Structure 1
Amino acid sequence: MTSEKVKKPASGYFMLFFCLLLFFGGIAAMFMYEQPLFGIAIFFGFFFLFGLILVNPNSSRVLLLFGKYKGTVKKNGLFWVNPLYTKKKISLRASNFDSERLKVNDKLGNPIMISTILVWRVTDTYKAAFDVDDYKNFVRVQTDAAVRKLASMYPYDNFADEGNEEDITLRSSVNEVSEALETEVQDRLSMAGIEVLEARIGYLAYAQEIANAMLKRQQATAIVAARHKIVEGAVSMVDMALAELDKNKIVEMDEERKAAMVSNLMVVLCSDKDTTPIVNTGTLNP
């Protein structure tokens, strides 16, 4: 037997009544008739009680007879099976696993701290019970291995000098990374009969030794991007100002005066501090 076999045992209510009848009936008969043979009924009444199993909702019992797999009881209720069966309980409920924060290197070699949140459940009790030693520990170890592999496949973040900003990153591409993580974990846990319901990154940050340096780099990148936008807007405004002046014939300026005006407007528009204008009350030519 190399796959799960769902077993439907007999109802346990009748056997419970039968066992209690044998046990207490044997005791009463021994005192009434003073015959030790009635002790056999007491023995069998007590022995048959070991065949009763209670299966709660979303639980299962794996049955073994002297090391041989006999089936799995998944239906909830009170049942009776062979008292010689070994009964191993395996939960079918969804379980959460929050991994420890691992220190790994991303695709660019930067040390990062990462952890994952996994939601999983057992779908094949045979594989969970016999194909791996401890399926719960197997989930923990394989999830950590999958997270380490995933972190090495993607960079933490993209900067302007590191390629296309549309590339998948651990920080910004949440859906893509979660799908890749779920696929990787599912491939590793399928041999244990476990289904991955959800896998996503629970914690993500640069390692402490480079966190300050990366923060300064992100700030510098943001400042450069902001300056780029400011310069684009300033050039557009200067071009519009010159065009309007020329269109409305407000003032005629040669190339030297246009250059001076462009220089002054660019300083005013691109400065990160308030400018103090100087009003020239004389002629245009000093």
Structure 2
Amino acid sequence: MVQEVEARSGSGYLMLLVLLVSQVITIAGVILMPILPKIVLGLAALLIFVGWFGFYMVQPNQGKVLQLFGQYAGTDRNNGLRWANPLYSKKSVSLRVRNFESGRLKVNDANGNPIEIAAVIVWRVVDTAEAVFEVDDYENYVTIQSEAALRNLATTYPYEHDQEDARLSLRSDANSIALKLKSEVQDRLQKAGVDVLEARLSHLAYSPEIAQAMLQRQQASAVLAARKIIVQGAVGMVADALEQLKVQGVVDLDGERKASMVSNLLVVLCGDQQAKPVINAGTLYS
């Protein structure tokens, strides 16, 4: 595995002055000196002329990967005008923070339900040598591997789960799912010299063909959960009412009258519509 090392390079401003002075001196010597020194100075002027091709610019948050005849020679991250061996080939690699949004992928969740899912990945290159030499096209590699990680995550967890289900769900546990996605994407991109800063779901929905059925299921689950809370509250209120009547000695009820009272109170408390008073002209037994 090729890892990043610092390139041997120098300040371009200093080399600009050195080459300029040397070029002027050698050209003047070629013009003014005798024939033998002219040959030597001519060769020196040619070498100095080649040296002019060693200049290059490094922008902020950019690295220059230098190669000599196919061999990695190092990476220069120093900003400004730089100079290195003119025979070096130079490739720019951006070190800036980048992000992309994956396309909407249609996959089946852990329960087999077809869903649509998409994510936003924020990343940057931290090792220019790995990014250039370990993968063919690191930008395309980031895109492909991030979508592959997103597919795998979507098939591992359900879209949503019941209260009895202890698993994470894509819909209810957004923060935990984001951490899982970031970890999985980072594992896949580690070899490309890429650091994943953030990964979050940007779109999550059931596929259109089952969306209506799942909406009805969610509504039914919500109604059942609400009913359960209402019944629990009503039972508690009835128990408190019977206890208060017994403690304060307001009325002494036998088992049958208690059952009737409990039934009436539960109907009133749990009913969808407002209770209507009924006048009983007789007794419980007639």
Q: TM-score, normalised by structure 1?
A: 0.87
Q: How does 1:118-133 map to 2 (within 5 A)?
A: 118-133=121-136
- 1:199 corresponds in structure 2 to 199
SS in 1 for 2:129: helix
| 1-structure distance, mates of 2:44, 2:176 | 66
Q: How does 1:129-148 map to 2 (within 5 A)?
A: 129-148=132-151
Shift of 1:40: 7.5
| 1-structure distance, mates of 2:26, 2:206 | 73
After superposition, the C-alpha distances for 1:40-62 in whole angstroms (9 at most, x for unaligned) are 88866654332111112221101
Aligned length: 281
Retained in 2: the 8 A contact 1:22–1:44?
no
Retained in 2: the 8 A contact 1:21–1:45?
no
- 1:185 corresponds in structure 2 to 185
SS in 1 for 2:67: strand
Shift of 1:12: 0.8
- 2:53 corresponds in structure 1 to 50
Shift of 1:260: 2.2
Letter in 1 for 2:87: L
Retained in 1: the 8 A contact 2:8–2:84?
no
| 1-structure distance, mates of 2:48, 2:6 | 28
- 1:258 corresponds in structure 2 to 258
- 1:269 corresponds in structure 2 to 269
Shift of 1:166: 3.4
* Correspondence 1:95 to 2:98: yes
Retained in 1: the 8 A contact 2:128–2:193?
yes
Shift of 1:204: 1.5
Letter in 1 for 2:216: K
- The percentage of aligned residue pairs carrying the same residue is 50
SS in 2 for 1:157: coil
SS in 2 for 1:87: strand
| 2-structure distance, mates of 1:116, 1:208 | 19
Gaps of 5+ in 1: none
| 1-structure distance, mates of 2:11, 2:234 | 84
After superposition, the C-alpha distances for 1:246-265 in whole angstroms (9 at most, x for unaligned) are 33332333333322222211
SS in 2 for 1:155: coil
- 1:231 corresponds in structure 2 to 231
Retained in 1: the 8 A contact 2:2–2:134?
no
SS in 1 for 2:159: coil
* Correspondence 1:284 to 2:283: yes
| 2-structure distance, mates of 1:240, 1:187 | 58
Letter in 1 for 2:79: N
- Give me the CA root mean square deviation: 2.8
* Correspondence 1:107 to 2:110: yes
SS in 2 for 1:251: coil
| 1-structure distance, mates of 2:243, 2:3 | 81
Gaps of 5+ in 2: none
Letter in 2 for 1:263: S
After superposition, the C-alpha distances for 1:59-116 in whole angstroms (9 at most, x for unaligned) are 1101112212111111222211122211000011221122111111111011111111
| 1-structure distance, mates of 2:28, 2:207 | 74
- 1:215 corresponds in structure 2 to 215
| 1-structure distance, mates of 2:223, 2:253 | 35
Of residues 237-246 and 68-77 in structure 1, the stretch that sits farther from structure 2 once superposed is 237-246
Shift of 1:18: 4.1
After superposition, the C-alpha distances for 1:190-230 in whole angstroms (9 at most, x for unaligned) are 11111112222222121111111111111111111111111
